[in-house]
């Protein structure tokens, strides 16, 4: 099997929900190296999702919808110059890929349609959840079943159903993620994060909800999001608009073991809204610079910065006295090693440190290091 056919087999398995975790990782590695193929894959996924959301209890009607979808894919493939879905410049490589897309798309949708006839998607609340994890020291991008994109920061996990077949599209977040959500007014998108529900139709926003921070942060880039406390039907929702940041303080109550997506019960107790500089680029903002592989910090004390550094470098930072925790820092790290990062911090403030494996021991410069 040649590489092009193998790639399209991976795409077909991914769209139908049959791909293994290793196959999905391999596919995303391939897409990362080919911007045009990534664009086509995103369009195909949205096209497939549109067909999936049309299904209902009337299987005959659903089969008609699938048949209409297949006819549409055929007509698109047979369009001018063999192009599928989008117009491409007439370079040899792009033309070859466009023609290949047109012919393979019919096969993909046929296999997807067959899969749907054989397998009825489960309800969001009862389906087995997929899990995507970005370990400390890494960042990861994934595509959800509706075509929405999600970037996960280090030390984060995202849980979601294989199919968004209910009235809502729901995901569960631990840690930090940036969402670029495909708009669908008939099926709102909801992020569950540490006792808070963030509801959107189609928008781009960042959510930070590391449990050790005792707070949830939501930063809106475009669109509108609605934030409410879980289980609080009497509370009026908080609406967030572009260039606004919502910070919700949490109160930990007790351990929880009944759900794989939560290990603590937390209660949102207060919130504040901050207005951000609309002229500042997304890649330069403290809240979203991590998507561009840069850690920004402005006015963080050492204790706050340590949490970010632990996720960024996959290290454990141990403060050997409390005085050094209150030092404040401004700056950014991009390609620096952990040793280079701490050397730069030490040049900006008086403290000493020692690195032992993946542990960093920090204390005031007046004291003797262990």
Q: Report the domain count for the chain.
A: 3
In this structure, the answer to whether residues 137 and 26 fall within a common structural domain is no
Work out the average pLDDT over 182-187.
Answer: 90
Assigned domain for 231 exists: yes
Q: Which of 90-94, 105-109, 245-249, 366-370 has the highest mean pLDDT?
A: 245-249
Assigned domain for 368 exists: no
In this structure, the answer to whether residues 148 and 266 fall within a common structural domain is yes
In this structure, the answer to whether residues 215 and 105 fall within a common structural domain is no
Is the pLDDT at 57 greater than 70, yes or no?
no
Between 97-106, 265-274, 323-332, the lowest mean confidence (pLDDT) is in: 97-106
Length of the chain: 370
Identify the domain boundary among 284, 314, 349.
284
SS3 356: strand
Half-sphere exposure (Cβ direction) of 30: Cα atoms closer than 13 Å:
18
In this structure, the answer to whether residues 170 and 245 fall within a common structural domain is yes
Assigned domain for 289 exists: no
In this structure, the answer to whether residues 208 and 68 fall within a common structural domain is no
299 neighbors 330 (Cβ within 8 angstroms)? yes
175 neighbors 187 (Cβ within 8 angstroms)? no
- Report how far residue 273's alpha carbon sits from residue 260's, in angstroms, rounded to the nearest whole number: 31
Q: Which is more confident, 266 or 323? A: 323
Is the pLDDT at 146 greater than 80, yes or no?
yes
List of residues 6+ apart from 191 with CB closer than 8 A: 171, 172, 173, 177, 179, 197, 198, 200, 207
In this structure, the answer to whether residues 154 and 227 fall within a common structural domain is yes
Assigned domain for 123 exists: no
Assigned domain for 17 exists: yes
List of residues 6+ apart from 159 with CB closer than 8 A: 129, 130, 131, 171, 172, 173, 260, 261
In this structure, the answer to whether residues 147 and 219 fall within a common structural domain is yes
3 neighbors 34 (Cβ within 8 angstroms)? no
Assigned domain for 124 exists: no
In this structure, the answer to whether residues 139 and 246 fall within a common structural domain is yes
* Host H or E run for residue 21: helix 21-32
Domain of 257, in residue numbers: 129-284
In this structure, the answer to whether residues 163 and 244 fall within a common structural domain is yes
Instruction: Note if the pTM is more than 0.85.
Output: no
Q: Which is more confident, 344 or 20? A: 344
Q: Report the CATH number that the domain containing residue 299 is assigned in CATH.
A: 3.55.50.30
Q: Which is more confident, 315 or 237? A: 315
Q: Report the CATH number that the domain containing residue 165 is assigned in CATH.
A: 2.60.120.1440
Is the pLDDT at 198 greater than 90, yes or no?
yes
Q: Which is more confident, 139 or 370? A: 139
In this structure, the answer to whether residues 21 and 51 fall within a common structural domain is yes
Q: Which of 180, 204, 203, 200 is nearest to 190 (CA)?
A: 200
Between 58-72, 280-294, 337-351, the lowest mean confidence (pLDDT) is in: 58-72
Tokens of 344: 């730069």
Tokens of 252: 């930990």
Share of the chain above pLDDT 90, in %: 44
Tens of pLDDT, residue by residue over 218-275, are 999 999 999 988 766 677 888 999 999 999 888 765 444 445 444 455 566 678 899 9
Identify the domain boundary among 284, 303, 319.
284
Tens of pLDDT, residue by residue over 11-56, are 777 766 666 766 777 887 787 777 667 766 766 665 565 555 544 4
Identify the domain boundary among 52, 86, 118.
118
- Report how far residue 221's alpha carbon sits from residue 205's, in angstroms, rounded to the nearest whole number: 5
Is the pLDDT at 58 greater than 80, yes or no?
no
Share of the chain above pLDDT 70, in %: 64
302 neighbors 329 (Cβ within 8 angstroms)? yes
Predicted pLDDT at 365: 82
Assigned domain for 227 exists: yes
Predicted pLDDT at 21: 64
DSSP states of 184-198? -TTS-EEEEETTEEE
Predicted pLDDT at 219: 95
Half-sphere exposure (Cβ direction) of 42: Cα atoms closer than 13 Å:
17
Assigned domain for 190 exists: yes
* Average pLDDT for the chain: 76
In this structure, the answer to whether residues 145 and 279 fall within a common structural domain is yes
In this structure, the answer to whether residues 232 and 348 fall within a common structural domain is no
């Amino acid at each position: 099997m040649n590489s092009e056919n193998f790639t399209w087999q991976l795409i077909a398995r991914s769209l139908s929900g049959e791909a293994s975790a290793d196959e999905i990782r391999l596919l995303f590695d391939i897409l990362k190296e080919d911007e045009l193929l990534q664009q086509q894959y995103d369009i195909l996924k949205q096209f497939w999702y549109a067909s999936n959301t049309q299904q209902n209890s009337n299987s005959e009607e659903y089969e008609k919808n699938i048949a209409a979808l297949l006819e549409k894919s055929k007509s698109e493939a047979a369009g001018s110059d063999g192009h599928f879905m989008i117009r491409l410049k007439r370079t040899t490589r792009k033309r070859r890929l466009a023609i290949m897309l047109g012919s393979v798309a019919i096969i993909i949708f046929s296999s997807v349609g067959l899969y749907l006839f054989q397998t009825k998607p489960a309800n969001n609340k009862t389906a087995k959840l997929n899990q995507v994890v970005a370990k400390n020291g890494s960042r990861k991008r994934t595509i959800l079943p509706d075509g929405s994109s999600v970037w996960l920061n280090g030390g984060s996990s995202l849980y979601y159903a294989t199919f968004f077949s209910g009235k809502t599209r729901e995901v569960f977040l631990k840690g930090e993620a940036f969402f670029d959500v495909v708009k669908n007014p008939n099926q709102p998108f909801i992020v569950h994060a540490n006792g808070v529900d963030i509801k959107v139709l189609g928008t781009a926003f960042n959510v930070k909800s590391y449990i050790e921070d005792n707070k949830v942060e939501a930063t809106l880039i475009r669109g509108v999001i609605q934030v409410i406390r879980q289980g609080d039907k009497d509370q009026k929702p908080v609406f967030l608009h572009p260039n606004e940041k919502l910070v919700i303080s949490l109160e930990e109550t007790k351990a929880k073991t009944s759900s794989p997506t939560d290990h603590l019960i937390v209660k949102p107790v207060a919130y504040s809204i901050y207005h951000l500089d609309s002229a500042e680029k997304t890649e330069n903002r403290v809240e979203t610079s991590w998507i561009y592989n840069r850690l920004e910090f402005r006015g963080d004390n050492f204790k706050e910065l340590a949490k970010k550094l632990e996720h960024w470098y996959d290290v454990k930072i141990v403060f050997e006295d409390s005085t050094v925790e209150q030092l404040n820092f401004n700056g950014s790290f991009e390609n620096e090693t952990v040793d280079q990062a701490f050397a730069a911090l030490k040049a900006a403030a008086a403290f000493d440190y020692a690195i032992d494996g993946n542990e960093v021991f920090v204390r005031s410069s007046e004291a003797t290091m262990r």
